[in-house]
Every structure is written in structure tokens, then in C-alpha cells.
Amino acid sequence: MRVCIVFLLCLAGQAFTASITEEEPIIDDVVEEAQPEVGANPVQVEIGDFDEAIDVVEEEEDITENPCLNHHCKKGKVCEVDEENTPMCVCQDPTTCPAAVGEFEHVCATDNTTYDSSCHFFAQKCSLEGTKKGHKLHLDYIGPCKVIEACMDAELNEFPLRMRDWLKNVLVSLYERDEENNLLTEKQTLRVKKIYENEKRLQAGEHTLDLLAHDFEKNYNMYIFPVHWQFGQLDQHPVDGFLSHTELAPLRAPLIPMEHCTTRFFEQCDADNDKYIALEEWANCFSIKEEDVNKDLVI
């Protein structure tokens, strides 16, 4: 059941981003022209659409009718034209945000304030642009703010057990549903096929932690690719072998309200504490052996 919930939440979390850093990631300030194909993967999201750290894609096309038509603004901003009919991005008025339909549209920010929706949050963040408060304000997780209990050491160790199993099951499920070959690439399909066809594979379901631990030991090889795959899904802006907090957000933000060890887990993944999770650090977090970390598996 937990797997299903997490899976659904990740789907639900597509329109959100988060960052818990006190500092803005340095290398996130890039313009991404080509957006990855969206929808194939529960955690693959339209980062460019809502990513607070990615700059605007300016398009210089000659649009006679409405200069704002092709002028995209980052989340929290909307396009307006000035007196010379030149489009520019200005902070969105929060009152123009669509009303939240349900509680799941609420978001909790790092100031422990619940915002009606991510639109309201980003509009507020924009209005604080240039201030210390605005710089520190980030979307933390999806859903209204709530007390998140402390994560105990023993619980922290359980987190990767479930997460690895979940990643493997997500991949297998994509493979099973991939009738039109658009959920996974050819290379990914080949990798997952091996896992899918392996008779020793632990089927998806409610498993005890002991069984998950035992399976990881016994079928270790089946977990190597899913861990690499997830890294590749998140490492998109830019594709550089490092995950910023913003890149991690699509996975992290929906999980936090469900799994109270999420924040601590990803914090400790960044072993050298440089605010980025390198592939090696990521793999190590999931107990993938150093000799099995392979950039070529990030496909």
C-alpha cells in the first residue's frame, strides 16, 4: 500500500519543486532550451515550467499580435508589455492564482507557512526578490505544513530499503505498461527487461524490512540499474552528474509528508556537504558498491 501511495504522490507531485538550501544553487542558473520528454516517469517533471532557479527562455521572435505569446516567465512571474510593447516578466499578483481545489494543492514553505498553492508561493517569493528573506524562502514540501516527527537512526536505515524496492517496482511497472515504447528508452527497456524476466525477482507488495534487506543481499544486481536510472531522471538541469536541491525536489517534495526521514536521508547523501549529490554519493546512499557505480548506466 505504501508503494502505491508513494507512487501516486509522486505523480501528484509533478507540478512542484522545492529547495531546502539556505543558498541558491550556483550552477542552476542556466537556460534550458530543450525540455525532456514529460510524462513517462512518475518523477520526471516539467522542471522548466516551475523551477524557481532556472532562468527565463527569452525568445526573440517577431510576434506582432501579442509579444507575450512566446515570452516565457519563470514561476512566480507573468509577462506584461511595457509602453514600447516590449514583453517583460513581472511578479505575479497572488490574487490572480487559481484557487486551490484541494488540500493537496497546498504547499509548505521553509518559513513554515502554508500557501494555498505553489502559484501563491512563487508569487510571494517573487515579491521578496532581492531580499534576504526571499533568498532564504523555498518550497519545502507538498501539502499543508504539519509537524514532521524526528527521524531516528534506525528509521533512517529503513528508508533506502523501501526506496530501492520502490524504484525497482516503478521501473518494472513502466516496462509492463510500455506498450507503445514511449515510457522507457530502448536502452532502458533492455536493462529493465533483464530485471523483469529474472525469476528470482521479489514481486511488488508489502514486504517486511527483513525480507527487503535479504532480497537486496541476494538480488543485489537487480538494484544497480534502478538507482542509476533515478539519478538520471533527476539530473536534468543541468545534466552534470550532480543533483542540486532543486533537481531533487520532484522526488523529495511529495515524499516528505509521507516519509519523515526524507529530509535527513537526502541531507546525509551529500556526504561531502557541498550541497550537491554526486552520482557516487547517491549510489552510496543506496548501498551500491563503489565498483558498481557506472556513469554509463545513467541512461
CB of 135 to Ca ion, least distance (A): 21
Looking at the DSSP assignment, which residues form a beta bridge with residue 80?
88
Q: Which stretch binds Ca ion (CB under 5 A): 10-18, 54-62, 189-197, 239-247?
A: 239-247
Nearer to Ca ion, 259 or 270 (CB): 270
Contact criterion met (CB below 8 Å) for 100 and 90: no
Q: Which stretch binds Ca ion (CB under 5 A): 52-60, 133-141, 260-268, 272-280?
A: 272-280
Whole-angstrom distance, CA of residue 251 vs CA of residue 18: 10
CB of 105 to Ca ion, least distance (A): 28
Nearer to Ca ion, 240 or 292 (CB): 240
Asked if 270 touches Ca ion (CB under 5 A), the answer is: yes
| Cα dihedral: 297, 164, 43, 129 (round 10) | -100
Contact criterion met (CB below 8 Å) for 9 and 255: yes
Contact criterion met (CB below 8 Å) for 96 and 80: no
Asked if 235 touches Ca ion (CB under 5 A), the answer is: yes
Contacts of 23 (CB under 8 A, 6+ apart): 275
Nearer to Ca ion, 144 or 238 (CB): 238
Q: Which of 272, 289, 294, 295 binds Ca ion (CB under 5 A)?
A: 272
Whole-angstrom distance, CA of residue 282 vs CA of residue 85: 48
Half-sphere exposure of 154 (CA within 13 A, CB side): 1
Asked if 274 touches Ca ion (CB under 5 A), the answer is: yes
CB of 282 to Ca ion, least distance (A): 9
Asked if 28 touches Ca ion (CB under 5 A), the answer is: no
By the criterion CB under 5 A, which residues form the site for Ca ion?
Answer: 235, 240, 242, 270, 272, 274, 276
